[in-house]
Structure 1
Amino acid sequence: MGKFEKQAQELLDAIGGKENISAVTHCATRMRFVLNDDAKADKKRIENISTTKGMFTNAGQFQVIIGNDVATFYNDFSAVSGIEGVSKEAAKSAAKSNQNVIQKLVGTLSEIFTPLLPAIIVGGLILGFRNILEGVQIQALGQVVEDGVKKVTSEGVPVWNTITQVSPFWNGVNSFLWLPGEAIFHFLPVGIAWSVTRKMGTTQILGIVLGITLVSPQLLNAYAVNSTSAAEIAKNWSWNFGFFTMDKIGYQAQVIPAMAAGFLLAYLEKFFRKHIPEAVSMIFVPLFALIPTIIASHAIIGPIGWKIGQGISFVVNTGLTSSLSWLFGGIFGILYAPLVITGLHHTTLAIDAQLIADYGSTNLWPLIDLSNIAQGASVLAIYLLHKKNKKEAEISVPATISAWLGVTEPAMFGINLKYLQPFIAAMIGSGVAGMVSTLMGVRANAIGVGGLPGILAIRGEDMLKFILPMVIAIIVPIVLTFFFRQAGIFNKNDLVGAGDVNYTSDSATLEGAQNIAKTEISKGTLVNVTSPLAGEVRELATATDPVFSQGLMGQGVVIEPSEGLLTAPFDGVVSAFFPTKHAIGLISDAGTEILIHIGMDTVKLDGKGFEAFVQQGDQVKQGQKLLTFDIDLIKGQGLIVETPVIVTNQDIFQPDVVGQIPRYIKSGEQLLTATKI
């Protein structure tokens, strides 16, 4: 029997069975399904599967987060379902049948721009650094640099100059850095045309050649078009074919003309490959595909694409500079994080690039940067709320750093969506910061690294102004996360089973206890949790089952029992007691929820070796006998007897271990404290 065979069968049933699966594959952490009918997937059942850490739908794929054991889970799933997996590319292809036109468009944009991101981000850093060199004023004693030579103006008179004006070295560095900056942004159409042919599976070198013909030095640079008269263009910058002329205009930094030309090239190449004999295809396919595309690019596609791109950037720029700019900025700031979840955020790359090409800067990218900062701030708030939770710190601290360096997925999917409160807080904080940024007229020279380093991409004159929105994007989400937690607003607290535990406590007793915890018990109330077992107590992170060790169910400890007697850790009620008797849920009179899970995989014993002395719904007193279990029998079946004791409603009660661990503890000795937050 496979390690995850039981959970794999549960997942198969929950997603609608074998007949509902069109294709399945996996990546580093997720099972990726293409379902015939997404509505047949029972998300509540999937959440309750022990190995499942979350789910979402993106690009036509229903993705179930498993974690590091996804490869093993995938093998067990294939075994129980009888479905052979497919390659990731095949799964993407199958997923497209489930996508509407907008989803397909977004997916295409994503596949085109994703390979270009490393260069675009580096370019943003370079331009940001040049902003500092050219924009930051420092005091000097009458010394300036002109043409790389230091000159003295008024000896001994303090003046303010930029770094490039004061230092020949940094002036040279600034000049040198224009080389890679120009290569990345001015010649962006080369990268776009290449990426289109790569995505379409056609000849990539032809895409590169096409891109070069759009930015060749023989053409009038796109940045000089507006300052060049129509008469001069007609006289000096046009091809004359006798019966018609064609402007010799370049498309530096233009997005839509390059994409449209790339797609035309790809489709022509595919067409001619089908109709030209293979013996001469090497000669005629590139010729018949490339030359007509170049002509069409300069005669039709380029001019029309340029106008479309200018129209889009004009609408966005107008919205962000109009009298209602604050509203536009606020709405975009709120909605950007949900766009990331759906994948629609990839469309903003093209818009940003077009804004930079048309206006020399973008007022959209600063809003994106603020959203990243806000998501990181919310994760930081969760860390501060659970700062004694070492295991969660291992997730939240890297997620915060990642978000503040521009990658928000770990923060959103790992923490914020899990608790919901921080996600909503980040959206609101991003919206407020976006309003302020837009009202202040902050613009970026480039698409930079999202997060805190993003300030380097902001225009020199706007850098100091951008600090205020950044501070807002940090403070507001933190404050709101604390407020939502205390007020119980936007609380996502699903009591989902771990390991072989699979239940949702919805009894009147549980609801009453939760209401007491939220309303009648004052903040700071301390609940003492005594040890229900005698044995060695260790950190929860040492538990064998990753669902417990990673704190996915809650926080607490794990106990290696020395005797098979389980007693009540406090006065309260038995909220859940499984028929197999291997796991029990308790709620204290103050509302603290405890789960005690005796052994790992002990559900297989079907109650053998266990004897219960209470039932679900019974009131219990601290120290009261709850059940006994046969340690030797459990070990004799090859099973582990270690027992997690965890607080499952850690959003309401902060658990803290009492004393040093590991250590031996007696039944009834104080084990944990749970503080109302």
Structure 2
Amino acid sequence: MKTFYNKLFNRYDKNIELVPTSERRKVMGKFEKDAKSLIDLVGGKDNIAAVTHCATRMRFVLNDPKKANQPAIEELDAVRGIFTNAGQFQVIIGNEVPSFYQEFVSLAGIEGGSKEDVKAVAKQNQKFFQRAITVLAEIFTPLLPAIIVGGLILGFRNVLEAVPMGWLDGKTITESSVFWNGVNSFLWLPGEAIFHFLPVGITWSITRKMKTTEILGIVLGITLVSPQLLNAYAVNSTTAAEIAQNWTWDFGFFTMEKIGYQAQVIPAMLAGFLLVYLERFFRKHIPEAVSMIFVPFFSLIPTILAAHLILGPIGWHIGSAISTVVNAGLTSSVNWLFGAVFGALYAPLVITGLHHTTLAIDSQLIADFKSTNLWPMICLSNIAQGAAVLAVVFAHRGNKKEEQVSVPSVISAWLGVTEPAMFGINLKYMYPFVAAMIGSGLAGMFVTIFGVRAFSIGVGGLPGILAIMPKYYLIFAIGMMIAIVVPFLLTLIFRRTGLFNKIDRVGEAISPIDATLEPTVAPVTVVDEDIYAPLNGQLFPLSHAVDPVFSQGTMGQGMVIEPTEGSVYAPVTGVISLLFPSKHAIGLIDDQGVEILIHVGMDTVNLNGAHFTALVKQGDHVTRGQKLLAFDLEAIQAAGYQTQTPVIITNSGEYQVDPVLETGTVAKEQAIMHVQSRN
């Protein structure tokens, strides 16, 4: 294995011949200084509980993370950035990380571990609360696309049926148009499927996350929302006598109410986890020859019984209690304080991952009160983060390198996805992040004082106004203006005065983003060429990437493709410079010296090569359009991994990189980027 890694990132001369062995030793040795420094800066060998690497970064689990000297680590020449996630201290190196890793473990005199080993150690270092939040995030993240589109649908229906139009003599659109009335009625079909049947998605997601039988999770969810049950929304309007007479199972020696759990979160989660642990238990104790029959039966039937007899009622009361407390706080005499604190602190919650808890609370508020007073503040927080980045764009106007990250980040934040804005810009400078928190807090306080409520969730940023109840449109619009103007002005003021700002005072400092993009190797030739699509699929800007290491441009500039088939083709003519053992990432150096990384999926390194087939090997010279990799798209997705594929120019600091297409459907050998040498 060590021999393989020694070869993994060979350099090529201009004739595309492999560098001699003696030269490869020099390449390996070039990281010796930084590797030695990194050992000391992470707290020494004794502070390293485990270490491994993926295609772009070193992944550490440290015994005491506080011993890591993060500012000094970021100053190392080989380091492009650092961040902590899921108990792992991650140091971004780039596509030469295998060579750096081998140098590091050799100098440290330690054995590297597998990805699963490091993840296991990382979980041990997490506190129970951190583990619980991680699990909650992993349950709700796969549901977000449906929740977002559901929010858009309900928002559009809100405009159609609930907003009187002056140009229609005070009538709504549905009252004035047969066509739009039909559209409104039809759109209830997907809206109901997403929100009323949310327990089905939750129980499926739990079995998917815990790697048990997903179809059993789906069946369990259906039994919680079956039409044979009294709809959860009708429970409060149904008398106890009527429930006892018409909505009860009578087993002779006991009875059980036929109550549905539409839109209920906690009952579905409790039932889902019980199903998982019962299946794991019976799979261990039932012989494999009959497990196909008895494991599903003994797992599913007791869970359904427990869900309706015990877990459902308990979960219902817990969820109602939480939503009642939150709603009371936001409608009390001190609601302004609650709104200001939550509005200001929501962005830091995103960094920690705690913001995923608000999805469950929002869903419960809607189930209990038919609306939520929490979601409006979340929308305003997204808007505030985007406004702070917009101020940075204005202050640094003309900085083309930074605009490649900052401009897409503004758009992304104002459409509800704030990670590129926060990780790519605001947290690097810090003063825009503080300005956004203040603006978000003021906007949250304002809308809370006026009792603004949303009837659905999922629509963040500027489109969030669609989810707001019509009578609050004007108040929420004013709140949006506060969330834009205040962060924008405060960002400029903090930059000029130096408040919360030590690295970007006017006339004193160089943008740290510029530093991460500075070229480390001079271009060997004049480049003026197109980079072609390596996959068939849907093209998006790099800011669309779910991994902030890619979305914020840390690895370089590029695009993202959502593949529609499992084939990777050469985007240029050149040499295969990287082929990971897991086959999930492949790198090329073209004949002009442009370095390209194609990273198939997110965290697919954990598959250890399963569902991937390499059709080339490292050192092969390939022509544009030649098939390089094959992968099973459906199997990877079924295993719980995203197949979103960043296509990165890893030495983009040497070139001007411009998209040929911003978004749209692309096919192999269709130009997606243009690369040109800087003057």
Normalised to the residue count of structure 2, the TM-score between the two structures is: 0.69
Partner residue, 2:494: 484
Deviations 1:130-169 (A, max 9, x none): 111112322467xxxxxxxxxxxxxxxxx21111111111
CA distance 1:129–1:6, change in 2 (3 Å): farther
User: Are 2:82 and 1:55 aligned?
Assistant: yes
Give distance in 2, aligned partners of 1:662 and 1:355. 54
Give distance in 2, aligned partners of 1:16 and 1:541. 24
Report how many aligned residue pairs link the two structures: 498
SS of 2:96's equivalent?
A: helix
CA distance 1:551–1:168, change in 2 (3 Å): closer
User: What letter matches 2:183 in structure 1?
Assistant: V
Partner residue, 1:193: 203
Partner residue, 2:102: 78
Partner residue, 2:164: 137
Alignment of 1:178-257 (within 5 A): 178-257=188-267
Give distance in 2, aligned partners of 1:418 and 1:526. 16
User: What letter matches 2:90 in structure 1?
Assistant: Q
Partner residue, 1:459: 469
Partner residue, 1:287: 297
User: Are 2:409 and 1:399 aligned?
Assistant: yes
Give distance in 1, aligned partners of 2:374 and 2:54. 32
User: What letter matches 2:318 in structure 1?
Assistant: I
Normalised to the residue count of structure 1, the TM-score between the two structures is: 0.69
Give distance in 2, aligned partners of 1:526 and 1:17. 34
Partner residue, 1:325: 335
Partner residue, 2:430: 420
Give distance in 2, aligned partners of 1:31 and 1:18. 15
SS of 1:137's equivalent?
A: coil
Shift of 1:302: 0.2
Shift of 1:27: 5.9
CA distance 1:398–1:234, change in 2 (3 Å): same
Shift of 1:271: 0.9
Out of 255, 260, 267, which is 2:270 matched to?
Answer: 260
Alignment of 1:580-619 (within 5 A): none
Shift of 1:89: 5.0
User: What letter matches 2:192 in structure 1?
Assistant: E
Give distance in 2, aligned partners of 1:95 and 1:129. 43
CA distance 1:341–1:29, change in 2 (3 Å): farther
Partner residue, 2:479: 469
Q: Do the aligned partners of 2:413 and 2:420 also contact (CA within 8 Å) in 1? A: yes
User: What letter matches 1:216 in structure 2?
Assistant: S
Q: Do the aligned partners of 2:80 and 2:516 also contact (CA within 8 Å) in 1? A: no
SS of 1:57's equivalent?
A: strand
CA distance 1:456–1:51, change in 2 (3 Å): farther
Partner residue, 1:545: 520
Partner residue, 2:42: 15
Shift of 1:441: 1.1
Give distance in 2, aligned partners of 1:542 and 1:52. 12
Out of 94, 114, 127, which is 2:154 matched to?
Answer: 127
Shift of 1:397: 0.7
User: Are 2:93 and 1:93 aligned?
Assistant: no
Shift of 1:542: 9.9
CA distance 1:318–1:89, change in 2 (3 Å): farther
User: Are 2:139 and 1:108 aligned?
Assistant: no
Shift of 1:78: 3.3
Shift of 1:360: 1.0
User: What letter matches 1:133 in structure 2?
Assistant: L
SS of 2:49's equivalent?
A: strand
Unmatched 5+ stretches in structure 1: 142-158, 495-517, 528-538, 553-641, 644-660, 664-677
SS of 2:60's equivalent?
A: strand
Give distance in 1, aligned partners of 2:116 and 2:375. 31
SS of 2:228's equivalent?
A: coil
SS of 2:171's equivalent?
A: strand
CA distance 1:47–1:542, change in 2 (3 Å): closer
User: What letter matches 2:219 in structure 1?
Assistant: V
Give distance in 1, aligned partners of 2:489 and 2:135. 38
Deviations 1:23-74 (A, max 9, x none): 34556765432222213322232122124344333321213344xx2x3224
User: What letter matches 2:126 in structure 1?
Assistant: Q
User: What letter matches 1:42 in structure 2?
Assistant: N
Shift of 1:20: 3.1
Q: Relative to structure 2, which stretch is displaced further, 91-100 or 261-270?
A: 91-100
Shift of 1:314: 0.6
CA distance 1:398–1:357, change in 2 (3 Å): same
Alignment of 1:163-174 (within 5 A): 163-174=173-184
User: What letter matches 1:103 in structure 2?
Assistant: Q
CA distance 1:247–1:424, change in 2 (3 Å): same
Q: Do the aligned partners of 1:51 and 1:547 also contact (CA within 8 Å) in 2? A: no
SS of 1:286's equivalent?
A: helix
Q: Do the aligned partners of 2:56 and 2:96 also contact (CA within 8 Å) in 1? A: no
Q: Do the aligned partners of 1:392 and 1:551 also contact (CA within 8 Å) in 2? A: no
Unmatched 5+ stretches in structure 2: 1-26, 524-551, 555-652, 655-676
CA distance 1:465–1:377, change in 2 (3 Å): same
SS of 1:280's equivalent?
A: helix
Deviations 1:197-242 (A, max 9, x none): 1111111111111000000000000000000000000000000011
CA distance 1:393–1:266, change in 2 (3 Å): same
CA distance 1:416–1:543, change in 2 (3 Å): closer
User: Are 2:393 and 1:383 aligned?
Assistant: yes
Shift of 1:341: 1.1
Q: Do the aligned partners of 1:329 and 1:438 also contact (CA within 8 Å) in 2? A: yes
CA distance 1:542–1:93, change in 2 (3 Å): closer
Give distance in 1, aligned partners of 2:356 and 2:328. 21
SS of 2:457's equivalent?
A: coil
Out of 91, 107, 129, which is 1:64 matched to?
Answer: 91
RMSD across aligned positions (CA): 2.9
Partner residue, 1:347: 357
Give distance in 1, aligned partners of 2:60 and 2:463. 36
Give distance in 1, aligned partners of 2:67 and 2:372. 43
Q: Do the aligned partners of 2:216 and 2:296 also contact (CA within 8 Å) in 1? A: yes
CA distance 1:37–1:546, change in 2 (3 Å): farther
Give distance in 1, aligned partners of 2:65 and 2:376. 36
Q: Do the aligned partners of 2:56 and 2:97 also contact (CA within 8 Å) in 1? A: no
Shift of 1:17: 3.9
Q: Do the aligned partners of 1:246 and 1:298 also contact (CA within 8 Å) in 2? A: yes
Larger Rg: 1
SS of 2:249's equivalent?
A: strand
CA distance 1:5–1:176, change in 2 (3 Å): farther
Q: Do the aligned partners of 2:174 and 2:181 also contact (CA within 8 Å) in 1? A: yes
Shift of 1:309: 0.3
Give distance in 2, aligned partners of 1:547 and 1:434. 49
Q: Do the aligned partners of 1:12 and 1:81 also contact (CA within 8 Å) in 2? A: no
Give distance in 2, aligned partners of 1:200 and 1:541. 38
SS of 2:406's equivalent?
A: helix
Give distance in 1, aligned partners of 2:265 and 2:469. 22
Q: Do the aligned partners of 1:4 and 1:73 also contact (CA within 8 Å) in 2? A: no
Give distance in 2, aligned partners of 1:488 and 1:541. 22
Give distance in 2, aligned partners of 1:23 and 1:315. 42
Shift of 1:300: 0.4
CA distance 1:75–1:455, change in 2 (3 Å): farther
Q: Do the aligned partners of 1:222 and 1:252 also contact (CA within 8 Å) in 2? A: yes
Question: Structure 1 vs Structure 2: percent identity of aligned residues?
Answer: 68
SS of 1:161's equivalent?
A: coil
Q: Relative to structure 2, which stretch is displaced further, 193-202 or 221-230?
A: 193-202
Give distance in 2, aligned partners of 1:170 and 1:314. 36
Deviations 1:380-418 (A, max 9, x none): 111111102121122211111111111111111111111
